[in-house]
C-alpha cells in the first residue's frame, strides 16, 4: 500500500522524509480533536462532543485523501474516547506507508488531571502508546516539554528516550514545545527528526528563526495550532486576521486554507498537522495542500 498516496490531495503539498527515511506527505492530520475536546486548556474544551463512528470515518477518509502522517498522544482522551484507540480501530491493519507520531512526558490520570513523567517513566508511556495503537514499535516519538520547564535543560529526559530508540521501541525522536538551546542540547545526545512547536501567522521572530534553522539542519518543522493562531485550544479565532481574510476572499479559499498554505510556503521541511473531527473540514484542510500563494500574498501575511 505504499504507492497509493502519490496522486492524492494530501500529496499536492509535496513530501518530506522524516528522519531521512520515512517519506510523508507534508499535509498530515492531528488527532487531538477526534475525542471532542482539546487536550490542553481550561476545562478540556467540548467534553462529549465527539462521535465514535464519525471520528473513525474521519480517520479512514484522511488516509483515502492521502494523509500518511498522523499526530497523536495517549493524553488525547475524553471521558468516552481515546485518540490512539480510535486510530487503532479505524486504520488497522495499518497501511505500510502510514507514519504515526506520538508524544511523551505529559500524562493524564483517568480523572484528566495532568502529571509529568520522570525520565525512568518514559518507557511506560512509550509502552502505553504501543498497547493502545497495537504496534510493536513507534515511528516517531516527540518529547513534549512541559510549559513550566521554559528553557530548562531537557537532556535527561531526551537521553532516556534515546535509550528506548536504541532498544528498538522507537524509530525516530522529535521534540515539542522547545527552544533553540533545547534543540541543540538534544541533538548532542541523539538525532532529532522533527521539532513540533506552536506556530502560525503572526509567530514571533525567534520562532521564525528556529523554523529556518531546522530546515538548514534537515529537521522537519511541524507547527501545531497553525489554523487557530492565537486562539490555540479554543479553535479557529473568532475575529479572523484582516490580511488572512483578504487573501481568502481573493482566492476563493477559507481562512483556514490560507493559514495552512502560508505555513507550508515557509520551506519544504515544514509539515502541517491540522486536526478536526468534521469530515467537511478535513476535506478543506487537505485541499489546502494544493493552494499556492503568490510571493505578495505570503509577504502580506508576514
Quick: pLDDT tens for 238-281.
567 899 999 999 999 999 999 999 999 999 999 999 999 999 99
Beta strands 138-144 and 194-196: pairing type?
unpaired
Max alpha carbon distance in the chain (Å)? Answer: 53
Q: 218 or 46: whose pLDDT is higher?
A: 218
Whether the per-residue pLDDT at 1 is higher than 70: the answer is no
150 found inside a domain:
yes
Whether the per-residue pLDDT at 59 is higher than 70: the answer is yes
174 found inside a domain:
yes
Domain count, the chain: 1
231 found inside a domain:
yes
Q: 137 exposed, middle or buried (CB, 10 Å; 0-12, 13-18, 19+)? A: middle
The x, y and z cell numbers of residue 286, run together, are: 487537505
Q: 152 exposed, middle or buried (CB, 10 Å; 0-12, 13-18, 19+)? A: exposed
Q: Are residues 182 and 153 in contact, defined by beta-carbon separation less than 8 angstroms? A: yes
Q: Which pLDDT band, with edges at 50, 70 and 90, does 6 fall under? A: low
H-type alpha helices, 92-237: 122-133, 155-166, 180-187, 205-216
Whether the per-residue pLDDT at 231 is higher than 90: the answer is no
Whether the per-residue pLDDT at 99 is higher than 90: the answer is yes
Instruction: Return d(Cα 53, Cα 96) in angstroms, integer.
Output: 24
61: which residues sit within 8 A by CB, 6+ positions away? 279, 282, 283
**Which pLDDT value is given to residue 45?**
39
Structural domain containing residue 35: 9-300
Whether the per-residue pLDDT at 128 is higher than 70: the answer is yes
276 found inside a domain:
yes
**Which pLDDT value is given to residue 114?**
94
Let me know how many helices (H) and strands (E) the chain has, helices first: 10, 11
Mean pLDDT of the 176-180 span: 96
3 found inside a domain:
no
Task: Give the percent of the chain with pLDDT over 90.
Answer: 81
Residue 239, Cβ neighbours under 10 Å: how many?
7
**Which pLDDT value is given to residue 238?**
59
Whether the per-residue pLDDT at 112 is higher than 50: the answer is yes
Q: Which pLDDT band, with edges at 50, 70 and 90, does 148 fall under? A: confident
Report residue 200: phi and psi, to 5°: -175, -170
**Which pLDDT value is given to residue 236?**
54
List the single range of 16-20, 209-213, 227-231, 235-239 with lowest mean pLDDT: 227-231
4 found inside a domain:
no
117 found inside a domain:
yes
Q: Which pLDDT band, with edges at 50, 70 and 90, does 77 fall under? A: very high
In the Cβ-directed half-sphere of 162, how many Cα atoms lie within 13 Å? 16
Q: Are residues 140 and 172 in contact, defined by beta-carbon separation less than 8 angstroms? A: yes
Average pLDDT, the chain: 90
Catalytic residue, candidates 76, 199, 221, 225: 76
Give yes or no: 94 in active site.
Answer: no
The CATH number for 91's domain is: 3.20.20.100
Q: Which pLDDT band, with edges at 50, 70 and 90, does 106 fall under? A: very high
1 found inside a domain:
no
Whether the per-residue pLDDT at 64 is higher than 90: the answer is yes
**Which pLDDT value is given to residue 246?**
95
Beta strands 69-71 and 29-30: pairing type?
parallel
Amino acid at each position: 500500500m505504499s504507492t497509493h498516496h502519490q496522486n492524492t490531495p494530501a500529496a499536492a503539498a509535496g513530501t518530506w522524509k522524516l528522519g531521512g527515511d520515512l517519506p510523508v506527505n507534508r499535509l498530515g492530520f492531528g488527532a487531538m480533536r477526534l475525542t471532542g475536546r482539546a487536550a490542553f486548556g481550561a476545562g478540556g474544551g467540548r467534553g462529549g462532543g465527539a462521535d465514535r463512528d464519525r471520528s473513525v470515518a474521519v480517520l479512514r477518509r484522511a488516509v483515502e485523501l492521502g494523509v500518511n502522517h498522523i499526530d497523536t498522544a495517549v493524553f488525547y482522551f475524553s471521558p468516552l474516547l481515546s485518540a490512539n484507540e480510535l486510530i487503532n480501530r479505524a486504520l488497522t491493519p495499518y497501511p505500510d506507508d502510514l507514519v504515526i507520531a506520538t508524544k511523551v512526558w505529559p500524562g493524564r490520570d483517568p480523572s484528566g488531571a495532568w502529571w509529568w513523567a520522570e525520565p525512568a517513566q518514559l518507557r511506560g508511556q512509550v509502552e502505553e502508546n504501543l498497547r493502545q495503537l497495537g504496534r510493536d514499535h513507534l515511528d516517531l516519538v516527540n518529547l513534549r516539554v512541559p510549559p513550566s520547564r521554559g528553557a530548562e535543560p531537557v537532556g535527561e529526559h531526551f537521553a532516556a528516550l534515546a535509550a528506548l530508540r536504541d532498544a528498538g521501541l522507537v524509530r525516530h525522536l522529535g521534540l515539542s514545545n522547545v527552544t533553540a538551546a533545547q534543540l541543540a542540547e538534544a541533538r548532542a545526545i541523539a538525532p532529532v527528526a522533527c521539532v513540533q512547536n506552536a506556530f502560525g501567522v503572526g509567530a514571533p521572530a525567534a520562532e521564525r528563526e528556529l523554523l529556518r534553522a531546522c530546515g538548514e539542519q534537515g529537521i522537519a518543522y511541524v507547527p501545531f495550532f497553525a489554523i487557530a493562531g492565537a486562539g490555540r485550544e479554543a479553535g479557529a479565532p473568532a475575529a479572523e486576521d484582516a490580511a488572512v481574510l483578504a487573501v481568502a476572499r481573493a482566492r476563493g479559499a477559507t481562512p483556514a486554507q490560507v493559514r495552512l498554505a502560508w505555513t507550508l510556503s515557509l520551506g519544504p521541511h515544514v509539515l502541517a498537522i491540522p486536526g478536526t473531527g468534521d469530515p467537511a473540514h478535513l476535506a478543506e484542510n487537505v485541499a489546502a495542500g494544493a493552494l499556492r500563494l503568490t510571493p505578495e500574498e505570503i509577504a502580506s501575511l508576514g
